[in-house]
């Protein structure tokens, strides 16, 4: 697959009415959210946001700073419990799951890539990538062998024995992508995965992330405020004032 080298074309004027995220989502969504509300103290982060994503789909969640896009991602991933509304994964309501069950989902079904800080600084890069497999009980050798294969694919096999503090930001993000994908997740959550990188490194990380996700048929929820990054997605959802709008029709 050839990555886009230029941002996608901006939506044309005189657009059609913007559909809601759920309307845009076809039936049989892998992961969906309905009317999510979340307030931090007196500040509302989500105010009735809805969202859906299908297997293998890459959806960019965009919006200005403080619009609630990261909160939406955290709710979708079961990291944060919404105050109201439902999140369903394969028909199961996340809020009904116990902490252990949600943790099991994160271990096996979900993968995460954040802007920074998600790698365990004490472990080597290989060990970091192998960690989700080790948590499921896989033997060290096998887990690290799989980890190395993913790192090779993401072009960071050479930093395997190094620790996160000893590698560059771009390499660190690729290691994080490898870790997110090593369990062959059904959904990858990526929150500003290129936010701390220069454009060249950002492009390469996105290229590798989307390529790898597509090859494993993983859905990707991609939170970003950069149009260049959003260009890698199949569909865009814009969050503003805590409400999500699907931009598929516009695009």
Partner 1 sequence: MTTTHPPGGRTRAPDHAGDSPVTDGQASARPPTDRRSLLTRWAADLLMGARFAFAGGREGWIRAVLTAVGVGLGAALLLAAASVPEVMAARDARGAERSASNYGPQVEAGPDTVRVGQANTDFRDRPVTGLLVRPDGDGRPPVPPGLEKLPATGEMAVSPALRDLLESPGSELLRERLDHRITAVIGDEGLTGPQELMYYAGAEESDFATGYSYHLDAFGNQGAADDPMPPELLLLVIIICVVLLLPVMIFMGTAVRFGGERRDRRLAALRLVGADGRMVRRIAAGEAMAGALLGLAVGGGLFLLLRSSAESLVMFNMSVFAADLRPAPALAALIVVAVPVAAVAVTLLVLRGVVIEPLGVVRSAVPRRRRLWWRLVLPALGLLLLLPLAGGFASTTDAAATFQVAAGTVFVLIGCAGLLPWLVESVVHRMSGGPVPWQLAVRRLQLSSGTAARAVSGITVAVAGAVALQMLFSATQAENTEATGHDTSRAQMQVYADAEDAGAARELTDRLGAAEGVTGTIGYIQASATSQETGTAGSGEAGGYDAAQWTSIQVADCASLRELIAIGSRCADGDVFVTRPAGDDAPSALPGPAESQSWVRPGTTVDLRWDEEGMVAEDPVRWTVPDSAREVDSREDPLGGRQEGIFLTPSVLDTDMLQEPSAVAQIRVDPRNPDAPEHVRNAAAAVSPLVNVFTLHGSAENSLFTTIKRGLFIGATATLVLIGASMILSTLEQLRERRRLLSVLVAFGTRRSTMAWSVLGQTALPVALGLILAAVGGLGLGAVLLALVDLPLSVDWASLALLTGAGAAVVLGVTALSMPPLWRMMRPEGLRTE
Among 18, 84, 149, 250, binds partner 1 (CB under 8 A): 149
Q: Min. distance of Cβ 136 from partner 1 in angstroms?
A: 4
CA distance 147 to 181: 9
Question: Closest CB to partner 1 among 93 and 120?
Answer: 120
- The interface with partner 1 within residues 104-133 (CB under 8 A) comprises 104-108, 110, 112, 117-123, 127, 131-133
Phi–psi pair at 13, nearest 5 degrees? -70, 160
Work out whether 161 is an interface residue with partner 1 (CB under 8 A): no
Q: Give the Å distances, CA to CA, from 126 to 105, 151, 170.
A: 22, 8, 16
- The interface with partner 1 within residues 188-207 (CB under 8 A) comprises none
Q: Min. distance of Cβ 172 from partner 1 in angstroms?
A: 12
Work out whether 142 is an interface residue with partner 1 (CB under 8 A): yes
Task: Classify burial at 201, counting beta carbons within 10 Å of its beta carbon; exposed 0-12, middle 13-18, buried 19 or more.
Answer: middle
Work out whether 15 is an interface residue with partner 1 (CB under 8 A): no
Work out whether 234 is an interface residue with partner 1 (CB under 8 A): yes
Work out whether 90 is an interface residue with partner 1 (CB under 8 A): no
Q: Min. distance of Cβ 184 from partner 1 in angstroms?
A: 4
- The interface with partner 1 within residues 204-233 (CB under 8 A) comprises 210, 212, 214-217, 231-232
CA distance 125 to 201: 18
CA distance 37 to 226: 25
Work out whether 169 is an interface residue with partner 1 (CB under 8 A): no
Helix boundaries (H) for the chain: 21-24, 69-76, 99-108, 125-135, 140-153, 169-181, 199-215, 227-230
Among 66, 90, 93, 136, binds partner 1 (CB under 8 A): 136
The helix or strand, by DSSP H or E, that contains position 138, with its residue range, turns out to be none
Q: Min. distance of Cβ 233 from partner 1 in angstroms?
A: 8
């Amino acid at each position: 697959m050839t990555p886009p080298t230029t941002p996608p074309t901006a939506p044309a004027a005189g657009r059609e009415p913007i559909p809601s995220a759920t309307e845009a989502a076809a039936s049989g969504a892998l992961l969906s959210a309905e009317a999510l509300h979340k307030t931090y103290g007196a500040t509302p982060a989500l105010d009735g946001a809805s969202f859906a994503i299908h297997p293998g789909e890459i959806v960019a969640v965009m919006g200005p700073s403080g619009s609630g896009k990261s909160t939406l991602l955290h709710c979708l991933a079961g990291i944060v419990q919404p105050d109201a509304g439902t999140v369903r994964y394969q028909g199961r309501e996340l809020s009904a799951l116990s902490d252990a069950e949600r943790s099991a989902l994160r271990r096996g079904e979900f993968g995460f890539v954040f802007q920074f800080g998600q790698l365990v600084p004490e472990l080597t890069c290989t060990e970091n990538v192998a960690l989700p497999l080790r948590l499921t009980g896989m033997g060290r050798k096998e887990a690290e062998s799989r980890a190395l294969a993913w790192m090779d694919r993401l072009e960071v096999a050479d930093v395997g024995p190094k620790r996160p503090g000893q590698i560059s930001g771009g390499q660190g993000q690729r290691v994080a992508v490898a870790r997110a994908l090593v369990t062959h997740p059904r959904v990858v959550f990526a929150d500003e995965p290129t936010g701390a990188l220069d454009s060249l490194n950002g492009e390469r990380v996105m290229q590798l992330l989307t390529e790898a996700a597509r090859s494993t048929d993983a859905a990707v929820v991609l939170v970003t405020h950069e149009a260049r990054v959003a260009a890698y997605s199949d569909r865009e959802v814009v969050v503003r004032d805590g409400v999500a709008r699907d931009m598929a029709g516009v695009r």
